[in-house]
Amino acid sequence: MQNVRLQRTISSALWSAYADALGFPTELASLSTVERRIGTPRSNRTVPWKRMIGGRSGTTVKLPAGAYSDDTQLRLATCRAIRADGFFDVESFSKVELPTWLSYALGAGRGSKDAAGSLTNRNVAWFSNFFPNYVNGGGNGAAMRIQPHVWAARDTRKSECFLPDVLRNAVCTHGHLRGIVGAVIHAISLAHIYSTEEASGPLHWRKFCDDIARLPKMINDDYELRTFWLPTWESTSKNSLENAIDEIINEWRANVELASRILSESTSDLAATYYRIVESCGGLNESERGSGLKCALFANVATFIYGHVGVRESIETVVNFLGSDTDTIGTMAGALLGAWRYETLPCDILQDELYITNEAKRLFDISRGMKVDTHHYPDLLFWQPVKIIADIVSSDAGALSLEGISYVRKVKEIFPAKQKDISWIWAELEIGQSVLCKVRDRNLSGIQYERNESRKSDQNVSSIAHGESLSLDLDDDKITTNNTPGKVKNADDIIIEKDDNNPLDYLDKITDEVIKSGFNKELLGEKILAFAEVDNGIELAIAFSAIIIKAKRARLKKNINS
């Protein structure tokens, strides 16, 4: 029996990652986009493809066959955060894993990235991550990553063995009950397969309402959730937890009844039945497509329909239903189907297959109470997440390190970006995972890598801040925190060409004037207002202000020390 559970866990882990890789090229893509990416209009095997990253200041990168997206990345982050004794280290997950993940996130949604960025704030904890729009975050970013809690559970028949950790994991990033309850339902669905050896069906889906109704008690039994999270959540959402739970139960029940009715009318065309349910339940609507609640249902539907046909057939149906959330529904269905139909494993190329398998084995060992290794995180008393994404990968005596996670064993490929001094690298970490990281070029000096990509040619541009005198890394991937909500201006917009119409000497001159004046307020105001009358005035004002503030802080520090 233990050997069967091990096989279920490995199969669940591999099929979920494989479905993510297969659905990554079809995510939010049209038929023509899919064909341009992978050479065919249908994704039925993993192939190399290219993708633009980093916005206007980024670059086009090559993704190897089997490359997976944020779904599997965050699932592996959850795996690492489960200690040898089965304890979920939510503090390290929220303050190390999530902020560091911003450096290598692939295909991530805005909500999860905003949540991770907010956690770089020293004063924000996992239970107080109320960044702007937090309580409206009902997406599937939590549901897609919580399988490890079930894989590591001592007894999958008892929800108290895994649901408290699922809740803690989910509230780190998602504040709407659609996102939280979606994670809970997916966990219950996976545990149902482990404990009964069968997939859940419409009858079980209706009974899930009882599990949802027990969540308020579970939240109140958790000290941090009850004391810190719940009062702030109710105040911010302007709703009571009990009322919000009732609303979610009604929404879940309505969708289950609709799906059940369609299933009762289904024909032998399984794909048509799945498509009809997804479309009827709003899975193609932009506002509902990524709902954690709906994706949990769709994953269950795909598993129920295709369970006796084959895992691969189900996954291919899901990831090729363009307009739906292909990779996430696929990865959730893959986790369920893999646990149920564990006899076969993916026979296609899957990135980091060995690492994923090893993590699955470790979690199985944890579920049996066996002795295993624990991932070592930095001491959180002294750890502070890096706020600039390009600085998350650092260089220490010529060795690259993904801060807080692992040293880099090998740099496989380098992709120079349009932004000066920035590249993306495919790196193999010492822990065994492959990541595509944003990094500063100066940290790559002397680093050996497999493919000698040509370095970027000298660009006729220069940073406003003159290299090291000021670090401005303002691209679309800039970390946002509670203090800096919203989208940040692209780095291309704060690059000044060296021409006579906008010389950098002008900045040197006026900053010198203000600094030499002792930061005279009248002169400072005069110089700032003058930017309104010149081209690129906003960009110049940003650089000017940053240089002046840095100089002022240096002056204050010098006065204190003296």
Q: If pLDDT is split at 50, 70 and 90, which confidence band does 156 have?
A: very high
Which percentage of the chain shows pLDDT scores above 90? 74
Of 102, 57, 104, nearest to 463 by C-alpha is: 57
What pLDDT does 505 receive? 58
> 2-367 falls under which CATH superfamily?
ADP-ribosylation/Crystallin J1 (1.10.4080.10)
Q: Are 336 and 190 in contact, with CB atoms under 8 Å apart?
A: yes
Q: Are 394 and 112 in contact, with CB atoms under 8 Å apart?
A: no
Of 143, 82, 89, 134, nearest to 113 by C-alpha is: 134
Residue 2's contacts (CB-CB under 8 Å, 6 or more residues apart) are 368
- pLDDT tens-digit readout, 116-134: 999 999 999 999 999 999 9
- pLDDT tens-digit readout, 468-507: 233 333 333 444 433 333 333 333 332 223 333 444 556 7
For the chain, first and last CA: distance in Å? 71
Is residue 187 pLDDT above 60, yes or no?
Answer: yes
What is the rounded average pLDDT for all residues in the chain? 87
Least confident of 269-278, 381-390, 445-454: 445-454
Give the pTM: 0.81
H/E element holding 353?
helix 353-367
- pLDDT tens-digit readout, 19-62: 999 999 999 999 999 999 999 999 999 999 999 998 888 999 99
The domain ranges of the chain are 2-367, 389-444, 461-561
What pLDDT does 398 receive? 77
Residue 5's contacts (CB-CB under 8 Å, 6 or more residues apart) are 194, 364, 367
What pLDDT does 35 receive? 96
What pLDDT does 504 receive? 53
